[in-house]
Structure 1
Amino acid sequence: MSNASPPSTATAVVFDMDGVIVESEHLWEELWTAFAAERGADWGSEQTRAVQGMSAPEWARYLADFAGTGESAEATEKAVVDGMVRALEQGRIDPLDGAPEMVREVSARAPIAMASSAPRRVIDAVLAHHGLLGHFTATVSSAEVPRGKPNPDVYLAAARKLGAAPERCLAVEDSSNGLRAAAAAGMRVVALPNPTYPPAADALDKAVFAAKDLYQVREYLLRGLSTKENR
């Protein structure tokens, strides 16, 4: 991992959502824990780490199996996603400090996309609620591709929707599996390490830059985007 200034050759940026745009990963864990507890199972940090980066169908299947009550993955996913939408409506999902400014400034320079493990309903609701949806050229949920993170599918799909070669994209991620997914797609990855679940060393090593906050991320992205004359 290098913290040097980026070459100004990127033409697009792809963002993760949870832990990059909004502070919401604690709510996913809260809802997974509550779902399991209501069924007599003790969900902990080991299980949270296991599902981070999974698509909604993948983590719902894992959670349903863990709870051991025979509920379908579809019903399990709906219960948790309903809880996330309620949390948003209750004002419990806030943007990270500097996220709205970053999205607006970067999208004014280059097309941006979102490659998130969150289901479509949550992505659209969160971005619309915070007035950010119109800044994204494309958004992709890992539920809409064959495999979730750490596989590169969601990032490759985002690049296709942007019409950008993956190697000309900068990606911003906070978690181990997200960093691995973006790197596997061939993108230059900017890490915003999750303070609660810090990325594993091997995942963090895949980043070209590790930022302390979103203000550093924004500065790095703006320096790394090529001007129209250089594209």
Structure 2
Amino acid sequence: MPSPIRAVIFDMDGVLIDSEPVYLGMQARNLQTKYPWVTLESMYPTVGMSSQEYPRFMARLCRVPFTPEFEKELMQADENEPIHFPEILRPEARPMLKQLRAMGLQLALASSSPMSNIRQVLSECGLMEFFPVIVSGEQFEASKPDPEIYLHTMARLGRRPEECLIVEDSTYGVQAGAAAGGLVAALRDERFPFDQSAARFHIGNLSEIPALAASIQ
């Protein structure tokens, strides 16, 4: 009996690229001049947080009131230093995407990142050709764990939720994919305290995705 999976939808940060330690490291370094107790490890819980929850968590971590002035300070700390994205591309990503495409599966990207950042990453990593459908969280009022981004992506693909395998890593990303009705494969990462219990499958490497997609009944 052939697999019902017709499309695979990927998150970007933490899935295709191992970006989260890089982003967190930059933020921690920028904040440590004023808040020396802020460490990379203390920021791990922010991975996958919504844009609404993140600044409030950071205010507690920095031991200051949550104010517009602090939000502005956070935005300045979040300003990215130049990142060479091909260096943090997971080495198995391109072969895995080529294999999925050869299997005749539709591919899409659904990331909470701004569209400009998504396109920069895909372009610099040479992955743009694999994703005819690209969806950014900035298009929606509600962010993950709200399922809207995945429901929209499924509609763009013309697929039902049960035909879509979703590859995620963070707590909110996994919850968003599951709430959309897709079959979620969670990429394990022991560095972060993710709750991946809502995922149907758990994988240790992206290279497992083609066989998983083919085996689902």
Which TM-score bucket, shorter chain as reference?
0.7 to 0.9
Corresponding position: 1:97 with 2:91: yes
Q: Who is 1:228 aligned against?
A: none
Q: Please, which runs of 5 or more residues in structure 2 have no aligned partner? A: none
Q: Tell me if structure 2 keeps the 8 A contact 1:152–1:185.
A: yes
The one-letter code matched in structure 2 to 1:87 is: I
Moved more, 35-44 or 187-196: 35-44
d(CA) in 2 for partners of 1:78, 1:163: 40
Name whichever of 11-20 and 152-161 sits farther off: 152-161
Letter in 2 for 1:105: Q
Aligned partner of residue 189 in structure 2, secondary structure: coil
Question: What is the aligned partner in structure 2 of residue 21 from structure 1?
Answer: 16
RMSD: 2.9
- In structure 2, the residue matched to 1:87 is 83
Distance 1:59 1:121, change over 3 A: farther
CA separation in 1, counterparts of 2:79 and 2:96? 27
Identical residues among aligned pairs (%): 29
When the two structures are aligned, how many residues end up with a matched partner?
211
Helix, strand or coil: the match of 2:84? helix
Q: Residue 221 of structure 1 is aligned with which of 203, 213, 217?
A: 213
Q: Give the C-alpha shift of residue 152 in structure 1.
A: 1.3
For residue 42 of structure 1, report the CA deviation from its aligned partner. Answer: 3.7
Q: 1:85-164, aligned counterparts within 5 Å?
A: 86-88=82-84, 93-108=87-102, 109-164=104-159
Q: Deviations over 1:39-95 (max 9, x none)?
A: 43643445431x32235x446644774665854757844762532xx1126x6x422
Alpha-carbon distance in 2 for matches of 1:142, 1:41: 32
Q: Is the 8 A contact 1:138 1:158 kept in 2?
A: yes
Question: For 2:110 and 2:52, how far apart are their aligned partners in 1?
Answer: 16
Q: Is the 8 A contact 2:18 2:88 kept in 1?
A: yes
How many angstroms apart in 1 are the aligned matches of 2:168 and 2:125? 20
Deviation for aligned residue 1:198: 4.7
Q: Which amino acid aligns with 2:211?
A: E
Change (3 A) 1:218 1:38: farther
| Residues 60, 122 of structure 1: alpha-carbon distance in 2 compared, 3 angstrom cutoff | farther
The gaps in structure 1 that reach 5 residues or longer are 1-5, 226-231
1:170, 1:190 within 8 Å by CA — same for their partners in 2? yes
The answer to whether the 8 A contact 2:96-2:207 is kept is yes
SS at match of 1:23: coil
Of 140, 163, 179, the match for 1:184: 179
TM-score (norm 2): 0.82
Residues 148 and 43 (structure 1 numbering): CA distance in 2 closer, same or farther, change over 3 Å?
A: farther
| Deviation (angstroms), 1:197 | 1.1
TM-score of the superposition, structure 1-length normalised?
Answer: 0.77
Q: Which residue of 2 aligns with 1:8?
A: 3
Q: Distance in 1 between matches of 2:161 and 2:75?
A: 30
Matches within 5 A, 1:28-39: 28-39=23-34
Distance (whole Å) between structure 2 residues aligned to residue 120 and residue 48 of structure 1: 24
